[in-house]
Amino acid sequence: MKKLIISIFGAAVLFTSGATSTEASTINTMVNNMTGIPYKWGGTTMAGFDCSGFMRYLFNKYSIELPRTSQQQAKAGTPVSKASIRTGDLVFFNTTGRGISHTGVYIGGGQFAHASSSKGVSITKLSNPYFNDRYVTARRVTGQFMYNKMLGKL
């Protein structure tokens, strides 16, 4: 009985939660299929990624070209406030104390995907204390068409 109630509750949450859990399907599926790919400094392929190489690889799948480094990527597109971040926005962090040094893509539900030097391609909560304390900015590099494509609406 307990499992049935939990299953019913889970289904109710899934069908009532809107964009956060169900709409980000194409980019989430792609990221989930890549989780665990190892970190490789300078890596830009499925054999291994660094953070900016991973962003370039992902966004290339949506015909969006990004600069090579996280510092350069942080100048692309338009700035977005932390409160207005949506699926497909790039998020940037200062992990070295010397300016922007890490990037990821927001995938909804308070999470972002990135190539971590310790875990490889992974999904992390934006509220994770380490990243929350090092958050710098977000940038929107997608127009409405590509945003809809990332959400699986096209």
Percent above pLDDT 70 for the chain: 84
**Active-site option among 43, 50, 102, 112:** 102
User: What class does CATH assign to 27-151?
Assistant: alpha beta
pTM of the model: 0.83
3-class SS at 34? Answer: helix
> For the chain, which residues make up each domain, given as ranges?
27-151
Write the DSSP string, 60-115: HTTT----SSHHHHTTSSEEE-GGG--TT-EEEE-SSSSS--EEEEEEETTEEEEE
Write out pLDDT tens, residues 131-144. 999 999 999 999 99
Question: pLDDT band at residue 128, thresholds of 50, 70 and 90?
Answer: very high
Residue that wins the pLDDT comparison between 41 and 20: 41
Q: Let me know if 51 is a catalytic residue.
A: yes
Q: What is the mean pLDDT of residues 103-120?
A: 97
Among 37, 51, 107, 126, the active-site one is 51
Tokens 């289904």 — which residue? 11
Q: Give catalytic status of residue 138 as yes or no.
A: no
Query: For position 7, what pLDDT does the model report?
Result: 36
